[in-house]
Chain A
Amino acid sequence: MWTRRIPMLLLLGCALLVGGPAFAGQSTFIFGAQGEPVDLDPAIITDGISSRITRQIYEGLVKYKGATTEVGPALAEKWEVNKEGTVWTFHLRKGVKFHDGTPFDAAAVVWNFDRWKNTKHPQHENIKKAGKSFDYYGNQFNGFDDKSIITKVEAVNPQTVRITLKAPQGPFLSNLGMFVFDLASPKAVEKHGLAFTKNPVGTGPYKFVEWKVGQEVILEANKDYWDKAHAPKLQRVVIRNIKDSSQRLAALKAGEIHGMEGLNPDDVKVVKNDPKLQIILRPTNTTGYLAFNYKVKEFQDGRVRQAIAHAINKKGIVDALFGGTGMVATQFQPPSLWGYNKELKDYEYNPERAKQLLRDAGFSGGLKEITWDDGKKEPLPFWYMPVSRPYYPNPKEIAEAMAADLAKVGIQVKLQTTDWAVYLDKRKNGQLPLYMLGWTGDNGDPDNFVCYFFCKPGDSPEGFYANPKLSDVLLTAQQMTDQKKRAELYRKAEQMIHDDVARIFIANNQPPLAFQKNVKGYVANPTGSEHFNTVYFE
């Protein structure tokens, strides 16, 4: 009886299969993101998944040029700064409109700054009440209201904005290039209130169409985009949420998406071997390091720190464990930053030299135990984080490799990890004697790398490392606006960190992006600020 129905079921099954792969037309660019955006209001987001989308919809006064972190004009055509570095005047582009048709002018810029800075602004207050915050404004401009380094933002005339600072801020322009300081349509923010985060309106090359929860965000070309030379080449952009990295790669290989981020280190080879696909490496903006706690007596001896620097085979680790996308780090800043010190000579991998240094320091029998400055002793732990980070894609394996290197020169460590929150907590309280961590830059300014960690001598999160001379150099650089002079100071700072073996920098990682071979015009930027309007199909 039921057997007679089987052929029919088979037929139905075949009918379903014949539909062919789900190709969209070649005027649509589909990008596989690692997850769901949080919000689409640039001022309150901090994550890369959201900002990838907002960067297509919005623009700021300035932007990072091409594949660099150098700052160039965007909605401001040009600018000047006074001699003291405290008054910045921006000349805005004429004839630019927000996607809702309202004009982009000085009043709109003033309104946006007011919303970010002024905690009593209705569109600031409601965000705070909803449990969200303007994190980056506070971080980059020293807080809100009167605390902020920005004292005044005025419209000199509809095309000119003047920003006055309490004190000069070296990274000011780099800060303004960050996605958080992209400008929103005041009218749209006021109209939607909290719901603006789901109804974004900017001036960018793509307009928002729809956010299908859990699935995708759809954008379409802004036909009135002011920059005709860079008008969007593709009609539609779809950013799909594909959480699982293996599925993302499967979707790319099946031709369902055209590009993706978040490739597993092991899958880089798979993409390289596929003639239909290509890899684009994002210029590095991350550094993974090994840090010491200076309350540990053994680490107060520079020879011990130097011995560890000589003992670790960085190149071996990078070659084996970074999927071919890592680079050996010689200093804190990655090479893409303008404060990078090219002259700096790294401690070479030399186990014999390491052993000699340990002997000189009085550890001829090796180092197995540490002594805290209150006299407490414990077997030497080596802490690694329990989660993959951009700077350490597989922390456990990297930790094991470093531990093996250290064992070769007589340093016996006990590998240890814990829950990520506990890890960060312990580090903050200065409880980790020897630990792995790293940093991903926000704005391409050296200050954001070096000063963030070394400007507060003796601070517990930095293992109580106290080098006032170093922080003086960094704080001086922070207050200057002349990039050439600043670069000199950052190079000097890197040399000081190196000479003192304050920390050991292991690797810079270049996050790999994978695309169909016919995708052209994608420019990967160290900050992750990548614009889809230049993308096209060949």
Chain B
Amino acid sequence: MTVGQYAIKRFLTIVPVLVGVSLIVFGFIHLIPGDPAVTMLGERATPERVAEIRTQLGLDRPLYVQYLIYVGKIVRGDLGASILRGDPVLHDLAKRFPATVELALSAITVAVLIGVPMGIVAAVWRNSLFDALSRLIALTGVSMPIFWLGLMLAWVFGVVLGLLPTGFRLNTSVTIVPVTNLFLVDSLLAGDGEAFAAAARHLVLPAVALSTIPMAVIARMTRASLLEILSQDYIRTAESKGLPQRAVILRHAMRNALLPVMTVTGLQIGRLLAGAILTETIFSWPGIGLWIFEAIQARDYPIVQGATLFIATIFVLVNLLTDLLYAVVDPRIRYD
């Protein structure tokens, strides 16, 4: 099987996954106890308004009809409209996704830049103090609650030291003309150094907070994978040829050790693109995470459903992409 055929086959397996997701997403609204219309309206719910919302959500129809209508709309690219504001979900998604992309990519960059070297050093000087320290950092990174870390970062660097903003994408006095809606890119395109610095400063804390888990995962994977490679024969051969250790590790061992690291990094990117609800909420980062959080609180079901479906799709696609990248990086891999 060629890579192309494999890609098509893998692509087709996505379909049942997405149908499953659509069923779960559709089921949401019916699984949550209580009448969704009443939840949305609260103390002031009048019977007329409850009836209106029910009609609007299509809750007055048989379940299978509701599902078919729902799927029919999705296929046509219609994710519905927000109950609260009436804006099409897809439109809002497009507006908010760039903020999430910018944050996710920054976080993964931080994670890779710190995680990979940390893993390498830990593997090379196995069982050293540094190894223990890096394993401790990795463990802390995975287990520390992000909301706590986020608040502490904002408190220490924003409030106490006054070095970085406590949240947001930009201060009010700076304007960036939107092109890609990635502020770092847009400010560079406009050649506006001041705006670039402002956007970068706002990115630091949320990106660091968000990077902890992927960083820990990447560091652990790099260490484990490199340790395994370092015990192989060809490495001994390289060493016995008298190559300097740096060349052995970076040129010979790393090329193979990085393969599983790439997989976990890919998975982490998928996870981060899915929107970091906690990080975005704590730092008022206007991406899809904050959007979903607000929609859940307001019981704005079309947004919750649409966003979940989108996230699942992104996740599946990023996984697929990671799989396919294998072939490019490692010619030994055959697909059958």
Given contacts A240-B284, A254-B158, A254-B159, contact A421 B84 (CB under 8 A): no
B201 adjacent to A421 (CB under 8 Å): no
A424 adjacent to B36 (CB under 8 Å): no
List the B side residues contacting A20 at CB < 8 Å. 162
Given contacts A247-B151, A254-B158, contact A24 B284 (CB under 8 A): no
Query: For the complex, what is the distance from the CA of A75 to the CA of B79, rounded to whole Å?
Result: 43
A28 adjacent to B172 (CB under 8 Å): yes
Nearest Cβ in chain B — how far from A145, in angstroms?
13
A194 adjacent to B167 (CB under 8 Å): no
Stretch of B229-237, B267-275, B287-295, B309-317 at the chain-chain interface = B287-295
Q: Would you give the 0/1 interface string for B261-303, flagging 1 where the beta carbon is closer than 8 Å to chain A? A: 0000000000000000000011110110011011001000000
List the A side residues contacting B159 at CB < 8 Å. 250, 253-254
A419 adjacent to B282 (CB under 8 Å): no
A243 adjacent to B198 (CB under 8 Å): no
Stretch of B9-17, B37-45, B122-130 at the chain-chain interface = B37-45
**Partner of B294 from A22, A243, A247 at Cβ < 8 Å:** A243
A251 adjacent to B167 (CB under 8 Å): yes
Q: Which B residues, 26 to 59, have Cβ-Cβ distances below 8 Å to chain A?
A: 32-36, 38-39, 42-46, 48-49, 52-53, 56
List the A side residues contacting B36 at CB < 8 Å. 421
Query: For the complex, what is the distance from the CA of A1 to the CA of B200, rounded to whole Å?
Result: 26
Q: Is B197 an interface residue (CB 8 A)?
A: yes
Stretch of B63-71, B92-100, B252-260, B326-334 at the chain-chain interface = B92-100
Q: Would you give the 0/1 interface string for A241-261, flagging 1 where the beta carbon is closer than 8 Å to chain B? A: 111101100110111100000
Given contacts A247-B154, A421-B39, contact A215 B86 (CB under 8 A): no
Q: Is B166 an interface residue (CB 8 A)?
A: yes
Query: For the complex, what is the distance from the CA of A431 to the CA of B198, rounded to whole Å?
Result: 56
B165 adjacent to A419 (CB under 8 Å): no
A215 adjacent to B168 (CB under 8 Å): yes
* Interchain Cβ contacts under 8 Å between A and B, 7 examples: A24-B171, A131-B86, A133-B49, A214-B286, A250-B155, A251-B158, A251-B166
A256 adjacent to B39 (CB under 8 Å): no
Q: Is A46 an interface residue (CB 8 A)?
A: yes
List the A side residues contacting B241 at CB < 8 Å. none
List the B side residues contacting A46 at CB < 8 Å. 44
Nearest Cβ in chain B — how far from A476, in angstroms?
25
A17 adjacent to B164 (CB under 8 Å): yes
Q: Is A447 an interface residue (CB 8 A)?
A: no
Q: Is B223 an interface residue (CB 8 A)?
A: no
Q: Is B220 an interface residue (CB 8 A)?
A: no
Query: For the complex, what is the distance from the CA of A214 to the CA of B303, rounded to whole Å?
Result: 14
**Partner of B42 from A30, A242, A424 at Cβ < 8 Å:** A424
Q: Is B117 an interface residue (CB 8 A)?
A: yes
Q: Is A135 an interface residue (CB 8 A)?
A: yes
Q: Is B173 an interface residue (CB 8 A)?
A: yes
Which of chain B's residues has its CB closest to A440's CB? B43
List the A side residues contacting B154 at CB < 8 Å. 247, 250
Q: Which A residues, 209 to 266, have Cβ-Cβ distances below 8 Å to chain B?
A: 212-216, 218, 236, 238, 240-244, 246-247, 250-251, 253-256
Nearest Cβ in chain A — how far from B45, in angstroms?
7
Nearest Cβ in chain A — how far from B294, in angstroms?
6
Nearest Cβ in chain A — how far from B79, in angstroms?
15
Q: Would you give the 0/1 interface string for A127-142, flagging 1 where the beta carbon is closer than 8 Å to chain B? A: 0001111010011000
**A19, A241, A244, A418: which has the most chain B beta carbons within 10 Å?**
A244
Stretch of A35-43, A99-107, A482-490 at the chain-chain interface = A35-43
| Top-3 shortest CB links A-B | A421-B34, A214-B286, A421-B39
List the A side residues contacting B155 at CB < 8 Å. 250
Interface size of B by CB at 8 A reads 62
B151 adjacent to A213 (CB under 8 Å): no
Which of chain A's residues has its CB closest to B95's CB? A213
Q: Is B76 an interface residue (CB 8 A)?
A: no
List the A side residues contacting B86 at CB < 8 Å. 130-132, 194, 197
Which of chain A's residues has its CB closest to B163's CB? A17
Query: For the complex, what is the distance from the CA of A20 to the CA of B201, rounded to whole Å?
Result: 10
List the A side residues contacting B173 at CB < 8 Å. 22, 24-25, 28
Q: Is B219 an interface residue (CB 8 A)?
A: no
Nearest Cβ in chain B — how far from A271, in angstroms?
13
List the A side residues contacting B198 at CB < 8 Å. 19, 22
Q: Which B residues, 75 to 94, have Cβ-Cβ distances below 8 Å to chain A?
A: 81, 83-86, 92
Q: Is B139 an interface residue (CB 8 A)?
A: no
A420 adjacent to B158 (CB under 8 Å): no
List the B side residues contacting A156 at CB < 8 Å. none
List the B side residues contacting A15 at CB < 8 Å. 197
Nearest Cβ in chain A — how far from B47, in angstroms?
9
A133 adjacent to B85 (CB under 8 Å): no
**Partner of A30 from B49, B96, B167, B172 at Cβ < 8 Å:** B172
Q: Which B residues, 193 to 250, have Cβ-Cβ distances below 8 Å to chain A?
A: 197-198, 200-201, 204, 246, 250
Extra A-B contacts (8), CB below 8 Å, given A213-B96, A214-B287, A254-B166: A24-B171, A36-B294, A38-B85, A250-B154, A251-B158, A254-B159, A254-B165, A424-B45
B34 adjacent to A422 (CB under 8 Å): yes
Given contacts A25-B173, A243-B294, contact A213 B92 (CB under 8 A): yes
Which of chain B's residues has its CB closest to A30's CB? B172
Which of chain A's residues has its CB closest to B52's CB? A133
List the A side residues contacting B34 at CB < 8 Å. 418-422, 424-425
Query: For the complex, what is the distance from the CA of A1 to the CA of B251, rounded to whole Å?
Result: 13
List the A side residues contacting B290 at CB < 8 Å. 214, 243
Q: Is A16 an interface residue (CB 8 A)?
A: yes
Which of chain B's residues has its CB closest to A425's CB? B38
**B38, B81, B166: which has the most chain A beta carbons within 10 Å?**
B166
List the A side residues contacting B291 at CB < 8 Å. 214
Q: Would you give the 0/1 interface string for A434-448, flagging 1 where the beta carbon is closer than 8 Å to chain B? A: 000101000000000
B172 adjacent to A216 (CB under 8 Å): yes
List the B side residues contacting A213 at CB < 8 Å. 92, 95-96, 286
A244 adjacent to B43 (CB under 8 Å): no
Which of chain A's residues has its CB closest to B165's CB? A22
Given contacts A16-B197, A241-B284, A419-B34, contact A250 B151 (CB under 8 A): yes
Q: Is A21 an interface residue (CB 8 A)?
A: yes
Query: For the complex, what is the distance from the CA of A509 to the CA of B159, rounded to whole Å?
Result: 29
Nearest Cβ in chain A — how far from B78, in angstroms?
15
B284 adjacent to A247 (CB under 8 Å): yes
Q: Which A residues, 1 to 20, have Cβ-Cβ distances below 8 Å to chain B?
A: 1-2, 15-17, 19-20
List the A side residues contacting B96 at CB < 8 Å. 213-214
